[in-house]
């Protein structure tokens, strides 16, 4: 019973697809209901209920794995620990994870998602004003992406979660097997000449018409805070094992 938690933008589609092909594995992705696997926001279980459903799946002879539930790590980690479910944070180099989130958010705004724009304004406007960085559309969306990604990862690390780097998992078969308890005798197509990379949030060519955000300035100046803990993107990257 394994949870590879992630806010997203860390190859969760690719990894869940690889795992779903393995015999005996029952995999959910982007769901808060292990019973039904419905998308987040539709019929969610509680964190404890989700963990209990994973236990039931194991009792039925399956190998349950959940990725990208988006449950608050401060609630889900202890729920998993209480029921013997292994919980780990799936991470990506922060600059790349933020960039993927930014591309996703910008695509949503440019295709008419007014709620995404409102969420970005609420998250990014005041921090940008405080830092005296222009509140342009790309800067607002980049600030939102930074906060969205890094606050989740910081919350999980502060809650005591172990972490696994997606770059290592997709490049190192032994690391992948260890992370997801894949038996040695079970072949994994991704490492046998059929590498799989599902890019779900890749920047699209039409996004190039939008001015670039002030990435370096925002990353250097904007703090990441969870409760009383305050850090920087660079310091968080170091805590997650990424060196400059």
> Could you give the CA distance from residue 105 to residue 79 in angstroms, rounded to a whole number?
30
Q: What is the rounded average pLDDT of the residues 219-244?
A: 95
* Per-residue pLDDT tens digits for 69-127: 999 999 999 999 999 999 999 999 999 999 999 999 999 999 999 999 999 999 999 99
157 exposed, middle or buried (CB, 10 Å; 0-12, 13-18, 19+)?
Answer: buried
Query: 2-93+160-191 belongs to which CATH class?
Result: alpha beta
> Could you give the CA distance from residue 208 to residue 206 in angstroms, rounded to a whole number?
5
Q: What is the rounded average pLDDT of the residues 186-201?
A: 80
Q: What is the pLDDT of residue 194?
A: 76
CA-CA distances (angstroms) from residue 123 to 11, 71, 143?
24, 19, 8
Kindly report the pTM of this predicted structure. Answer: 0.94
Band of the pLDDT at 38, cuts 50, 70, 90? very high
Percent of the chain with pLDDT over 70: 95
> Could you give the CA distance from residue 105 to residue 135 in angstroms, rounded to a whole number?
16
Q: What is the pLDDT of residue 192?
A: 87
- Does residue 67 contact residue 27 with C-beta atoms inside 8 Å? yes
Mean pLDDT for all residues in the chain? 94
* Per-residue pLDDT tens digits for 170-181: 999 999 999 999
> Could you give the CA distance from residue 172 to residue 170 in angstroms, rounded to a whole number?
6
* Per-residue pLDDT tens digits for 136-168: 999 999 999 999 999 999 999 999 999 999 999
Q: What is the pLDDT of residue 243?
A: 85
Q: What is the pLDDT of residue 140?
A: 98
Band of the pLDDT at 62, cuts 50, 70, 90? very high
- Beta strand ranges found along 60-110 (DSSP E): 63-67, 86-91
Q: What is the pLDDT of residue 193?
A: 81
Sign of the CA dihedral 66, 159, 10, 188? negative
> Could you give the CA distance from residue 143 to residue 123 in angstroms, rounded to a whole number?
8
Sorted by where each begins, the domain ranges of the chain are: 2-93+160-191, 94-150+202-239
């Amino acid at each position: 019973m394994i949870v590879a938690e992630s806010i997203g933008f860390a190859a969760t589609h690719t990894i869940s697809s690889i795992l779903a092909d393995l015999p005996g594995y029952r995999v959910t992705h982007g769901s808060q209901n292990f019973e039904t696997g419905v998308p987040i926001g539709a019929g969610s279980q509680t964190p404890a209920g989700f963990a209990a459903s994973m236990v039931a799946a194991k009792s039925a002879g399956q190998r349950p794995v959940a990725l990208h539930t988006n449950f608050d790590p401060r609630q889900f980690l202890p729920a998993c620990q209480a029921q013997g479910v292994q919980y780990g944070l799936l991470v990506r180099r922060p600059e790349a994870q933020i960039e993927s989130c930014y591309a996703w958010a910008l695509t949503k705004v440019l295709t008419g998602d007014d709620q995404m724009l409102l969420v970005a304004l609420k998250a990014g406007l005041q921090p940008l004003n405080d830092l005296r960085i222009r509140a342009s559309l790309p800067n607002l969306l980049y600030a939102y992406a930074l906060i969205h990604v890094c606050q989740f990862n910081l919350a999980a690390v502060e809650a005591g979660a172990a972490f696994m780097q997606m770059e290592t998992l997709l490049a190192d078969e032994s690391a992948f097997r260890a992370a997801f308890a894949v038996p040695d005798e079970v072949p994994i197509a991704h490492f046998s000449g059929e590498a799989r990379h599902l890019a779900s949030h890749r920047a699209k060519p039409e996004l190039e018409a939008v001015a670039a955000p002030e990435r370096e300035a925002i990353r250097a100046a904007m703090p990441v805070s969870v409760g009383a803990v305050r850090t920087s993107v660079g310091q968080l990257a170091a805590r997650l094992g990424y060196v400059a």
